Amino acid sequence: MKRLLLLCTLAVCIFSCNHETVNGNGNVVSESRNTGSFRGIKLMGGMNIDVKAGDKQSVEIKGEENILPYVETYIDDGNLVVKYKNNVNINTHEDLNVYITTASLEDVEILGSGDITGEGRFVNNDEMEIGVMGSGNIRLEVDAPKIKAKTTGSGSIYLSGNTKNISCNTMGSGNIDAGELKSENAKATTLGSGDIKVFASIKIDATINGSGNIRYSGGGSVSSVTHGSGSISAAD
């Protein structure tokens, strides 16, 4: 037992020694980033993104002066990745915010904490995928023929706008609120305690595995399957 505790202590020490610690200096500045074109956003880390619908793409970061060099922004598979550098412990005294402008979005994803909040409506002529893995939150107004929304963990997604087909999946305690997203067909599946709200004018397929609830509106016909204590019912 003592040997195990010693090994654990050594492992923690090695981990800490290999990670640089940076404390914010309190001096807040803004910095523009030239990233190249992108079709989606992937946030990996505890910061907030405000994304605005506009014709010209741009990326601006606002935060403490000595923290900004440790914020990475680069393109990976067509997506703008925003994250802190690896092997660095960041301690901020002021919020770090990223301001993005783009006309359309195909993929929006959060891995970990942090929020992505949209301003204006994002139009896409193809499928749009929106996902949270962790505790982050996404709030967007969208217009696309097909939308897939998925949460894994405690994070939530809030959607409004228009679509023909929406697919919502929750795994964990996170929620998807697409009650203000006007769709023709909606498929909602919850695994765990997360709740889903959808609007569909033609058809709603609802499946519950656990204690989560599904609420629907729009007047579409409802097909439901329930395994667990959760309920499927019309929204108030």
**In the prediction, which pLDDT does 16 show?**
47
Q: Cα–Cα distances in Å, from 195 out to 104, 131, 132, 230?
A: 28, 15, 14, 9
**In the prediction, which pLDDT does 14 show?**
44
**In the prediction, which pLDDT does 17 show?**
52
**In the prediction, which pLDDT does 136 show?**
97
**Beta-carbon count within 10 A of 78 CB:** 11
CATH of the structural domain 124-235, one choice from 1.10.10.1100, 2.160.20.120, 3.40.190.10, 3.40.1260.10: 2.160.20.120
pLDDT less than 70: residues of the chain? 1-18
Distance CA 29, CA 12 (A): 34
**In the prediction, which pLDDT does 11 show?**
46
Give CATH 2.160.20.120 domain extents, the chain. 24-105, 124-235
Whether the full predicted model's pTM is greater than 0.85, yes or no, is: yes
| Digit-coded pLDDT (tens) for 122-173 | 999 999 999 999 999 999 999 999 999 999 999 999 999 999 999 999 999 9
Distance CA 164, CA 218 (A): 13
Sign of CA dihedral 39, 43, 44, 47: positive
Does the structural domain 24-105 have CATH classification 2.160.20.120? Answer: yes
